[in-house]
Amino acid sequence: MKRVLITGGTGLIGRALSAGLAGDGYDVVVLSRNPEEAAGLPSGVRVERWDARTAAGWGALADGAHAVVNLAGEGISAGRWTVERKRRIRESRLNAGRAVVEAIEAAKAKPAVLVQASGVGYYGPCGEEDVSESAPPGRDYLAGLAVGWETSTVGVEAMGVRRAMIRTGIVLSRNGGALPRMMLPFRLFVGGRLGSGRQWVPWIHIADEVGVIRFLLENEKASGPFNLSAPYPVTNADFSRSLGRQLGRPALMPTPGFLLRLVFGEMADMLLTGQKAVPRHLTQTGYAFRFAEAEAALRDILP
């Protein structure tokens, strides 16, 4: 039975991934700072305590494991980006990455692969251009955060471990993430585009998010960065209209950019800018998306 360790396994992506792997007979171990709070994980998934900084107490589990999936990091959208909060967000990612490297370094039988989380924010605001994995990093906070997150585990490559970086867009799911928050204004009949609405939305259905990670775990030729975003990104205005149609609500109430900046501060830039990210490396490697168009994805997710 192949063992897969998942850090950050109690979040939206980690829960869906662990359920799918456990259902197919994998030995799934979720690492959590608060195992007693890791409720709702499927039967067959083990939860082990970790401090998210070192390999103490769990590192031996990496010895002989098939894979490690490193998703750990403090959420970026839970509050305004104060100087202190930005520091905590960054340190949570760097510390988790160092802990994973420490565990793999100590393992006699190294894992075959490490899947390292990242985000399409790696590229910074990109305007109208298509952005594939070969594009350089941006210069804003999110770009620096993504670069640091990816770099935190680069050391495992020298140990012979295949490493794939998943630069994830907005994950669409009925069980959490951004979509429920996006739906609320529409349910109150005040939904619409954000700012100009011309910014691109790199999105992915949760089924494809999990599908891609599993594809990368098993495809021995899959290494390097991968954009986890559907082949057909849409503008914020188009996404808002599709969301409104699925909810039976109008999309006629735009939220001005100045208001978003007043409420969210620097974090508003994440809502008002975007990347027209395309999964070129992923499709070239052979992954076939279940949901390539936003309308179909929303129709599948929403009642």
Q: What is the pLDDT of residues 89-128, one digit of tens each?
A: 999 999 999 999 999 999 999 999 999 999 999 999 988 8
- pLDDT grade for 196, boundaries at 50, 70 and 90: very high
pLDDT of 214 reads: 98
SS3 breakdown of the chain: % helix, strand, coil, rounded to 5? 45, 20, 40
Q: For the chain, which residues make up each domain, given as ranges?
A: 3-169+205-229+279-288
With CA atoms as reference, report the closest residue to 154 among 114, 120, 119. Answer: 114
In this structure, whether the domain defined by 3-169+205-229+279-288 belongs to CATH 3.40.50.720 is answered with: yes
| 157 pLDDT above the threshold of 90 | yes
Please give the average per-residue pLDDT across 245-261, as a whole number.
Answer: 89
Please give the average per-residue pLDDT across 247-260, as a whole number.
Answer: 89
Beta pairing partners, 167: 118, 227
Beta pairing partners, 118: 167
Q: What percentage of the chain carries pLDDT values higher than 90?
A: 82
- Whose tokens are 């794939």? That residue is 164
- Please state whether beta strands 234-235 and 200-201 pair in parallel, antiparallel, or not at all (unpaired): antiparallel
Residue 37 one-letter amino acid: E
Which of 62-66, 71-75, 156-160 bottoms out in mean pLDDT, i.e. has the lowest? 71-75
Global confidence as pTM: 0.95
With CA atoms as reference, report the closest residue to 159 among 111, 117, 222, 94. Answer: 111
Which of 14-18, 148-152, 169-173, 188-192 bottoms out in mean pLDDT, i.e. has the lowest? 188-192
| 40 pLDDT above the threshold of 90 | no
43 in helix, strand or coil? coil
For residue 255, give the DSSP letter: B
pLDDT of 14 reads: 94
Please give the average per-residue pLDDT across 273-301, as a whole number.
Answer: 96
Cα–Cα distance measured from residue 214 to residue 21, given in angstroms and rounded to the nearest whole number: 8
With CA atoms as reference, report the closest residue to 277 among 182, 190, 166. Answer: 166
Cα–Cα distance measured from residue 202 to residue 144, given in angstroms and rounded to the nearest whole number: 19
Rounded to the nearest 5°, which phi and psi values hold at 114? Answer: -120, 125
With CA atoms as reference, report the closest residue to 17 among 174, 210, 154, 258. Answer: 210
- pLDDT grade for 36, boundaries at 50, 70 and 90: confident
